[in-house]
A and B are shown apart, each in its own frame.
Chain A
Amino acid sequence: MPEKLLCASSDLSDTTVKICEVDGVEIGIIRHNGDVVAYKNVCPHQGGPVCEGLRMPRVCVEFDDQQRALQQNFDESEMHFVCPWHGWEFKMETGEAVGDPKIRLKRYKVTERDGEVYVEI
């Protein structure tokens, strides 16, 4: 698959998604857990700009030893892209939809070389 230059390594951060356009396709790219992840900026639901919303941790529920709910909490070890159109959430690490792992964001392979980031498209 041909490699295309996406952006400079210094453009990437782990707090803000960078949106780049390659051959008419928008790609959202961000540093995450020491890796660089890149996904097509189109939501599998109705096509929203999924990489341009908030990033939120998974919400979990804590129980006591009798399965009584104590409180909810955020689990920051699992961060999600939240699509801004309707709130579908996708695991940043894999692109899987939280509600149904069969549904995924389209992921691109990226490599960092000599201060530049390349994408296979």
Chain B
Amino acid sequence: MSLTGNTMNFSTDNDPAIKEFNTTKLLKNARKQAEDRNYKDFFICDVDSHHYETEALPEILQYMDDPVMRHLGLSAGNVGRAGLIPQAIGSQDMAGRVTRYAGRNKEVVPEKPHRDITLTRRWMDAMGVDMACLFPTPMLLLATHPQVEVEVAMARAYNRWLCERILEEDKRIVSMVYLPMNEPHEAEKMIDEFAEKKGVVGFLSTGYLKRPVHDSVNMRIYAKLEEHGMPLGFHAAYHWADTSLAQLNKFISVHALGFSFCNIIHMTNWVLNGMPERFPKLNTMWIESGLAWVPFLMQRLDNEYMMRTSDAPLLKKKPSDYMREMFYSSQPIELVDNKEALEVTFKMMNAESQLLYSSDYPHWDMDLPSTIHDIPFLDETAKRNILGGNAQKLFNLDPVMSEWKLEARKQG
């Protein structure tokens, strides 16, 4: 049998776009935007950004209590995460077209500070972001791990590592730390262990959960978050194995629907089971589902609620009235030929006070601050709120401006 050689390799490691990869260089046009738009006068907080925690897996595993599980992770080698973190089928990098995926591990950084801090600061400084809420990447699917004890152990080790190695070291980086919702009593312990740690501004529920968010076993989690005054984030994820998405044959399809669908399910359960009435002081933020799903769901739920109030007896107002009091991250903001729809969406969700800018960097569909700054119908106050002010309030932040902005301000 003779095989034809694969001559069609359009994204080799030798391509200059990948070989000489550097975040600051890749984002030089972002830095120009930041300077042209005078971001030095804006406090910008990015509420959803990422790093690739599995690249630091051997370090993270040092924080894991269970020696057998730790051994399992280390035995798979430095990049091995088989057995600990579910791997997703998909092509986030579009077969190499989004070059930062292939380039990332070639980027040269100084020995100190931690590599993840340097890489994070590089994109923050390029985009004009002053503070960033940092989340993991592969662990967004950790909740789908069939062994709940692995989820708990990984979550605890990761949270400890993140607090000690990253958040302690850089006051511009904060996080809503991982909450293993599939094991509620462990989630409660996690809140006690991490709520007061430096840089922890909330807790994060990720993607597809084994039980619905309104399950009674979760109530003490929400009560505890309320006690600590900590917001709860729902970070969307796609999961191709989800039966409702299983007929979709392309990554674009499962990504476009899955990331909204995931939060549509949680939000529907959250509102119709009266969670905002049961935990009125608990703030929630809905992350990475875009914005278009919000008016869709408000209209669908309100319409049915008015006919079937008996199905949702805990509600004292329309579903959309509750949704309007919640918080939303902005990315991936739908911006193609939809100006009128976007304006209506902003109005319907009270974006001026409820929307928080997010980049999702370094993921393929990241958004720059200009996606908010350049929206023509927003006034100056709305822009400032969405780009940083709303995050400052929700997270109770002490704003830390980036060094280059402080320097630029001095120079006038």
Which residues on A are within 8 Å of B, measured CB to CB?
16, 41-42, 46-49, 52-57, 74, 82, 84-87, 89, 100
Contact = CB atoms under 8 A, between A and B. Distances in A.
A84 B102 CA distance: 11
A83 to B, nearest CB: 9
A49 B96 contact: no
A87 B29 CA distance: 16
Contact of A85 (B15, B98, B336, B371): B98
Contacts of A82: 97
Nearest to A79: B10
Contacts of A57: 10
B130 interface: no
B28 A49 contact: yes
Interface string B128-149: 0000000000000000000000
Interface in B339-375: 364-368, 370-371
Given A87-B97, A87-B98, A48 B29 contact: yes
Nearest to B99: A84
A57 B10 CA distance: 9
Contacts of B16: 16, 52
A contact face: mostly helix, strand, loop, or mixed: loop
A90 B375 CA distance: 24
B366 A86 contact: yes
B366 A85 contact: yes
A47 B96 CA distance: 20
Interface of B: 8, 10-11, 15-17, 26, 28-30, 32-33, 94, 96-100, 336, 364-368, 370-371
Nearest to A53: B17
B397 to A, nearest CB: 26
Contact of B98 (A41, A55, A86, A100): A86
Residue from B33, B97, B336 having most chain A Cβ neighbours under 10 A: B97
B contact face: mostly helix, strand, loop, or mixed: loop
B10 A55 contact: yes
Contacts of A49: 26, 28-29
Contact of A47 (B94, B336, B370): B370
Nearest to A52: B17
A56 B100 contact: no
A92 to B, nearest CB: 13
8 contacts: A47-B29, A47-B368, A49-B28, A52-B17, A53-B17, A54-B10, A86-B365, A87-B94
A55 B16 CA distance: 11
A46 B370 contact: yes
A53 B371 contact: no
A54 B19 CA distance: 12
Contact of B96 (A42, A54, A100): A54
Contacts of B11: 54, 56
Q: Please name the 3 residue pairs, one residue from A and one from B, whose CB atoms are nearest each other, closest first.
A: A84-B99, A87-B97, A82-B97
Contact of A86 (B29, B32, B364): B364
B282 to A, nearest CB: 34
B99 A53 contact: yes
Nearest to B11: A54
Nearest to A99: B336
Contacts of A86: 98, 364-366
B331 to A, nearest CB: 11
Contacts of B10: 54-57, 74
Contacts of B365: 86
A56 B87 CA distance: 27
Contacts of A55: 10
B367 A87 contact: no
Nearest to A41: B29
A100 B338 CA distance: 14
B366 to A, nearest CB: 7
Given A52-B16, A53-B97, A84-B17, 6 more contacts: A46-B368, A47-B29, A47-B368, A53-B17, A54-B99, A85-B98
A48 B32 CA distance: 11
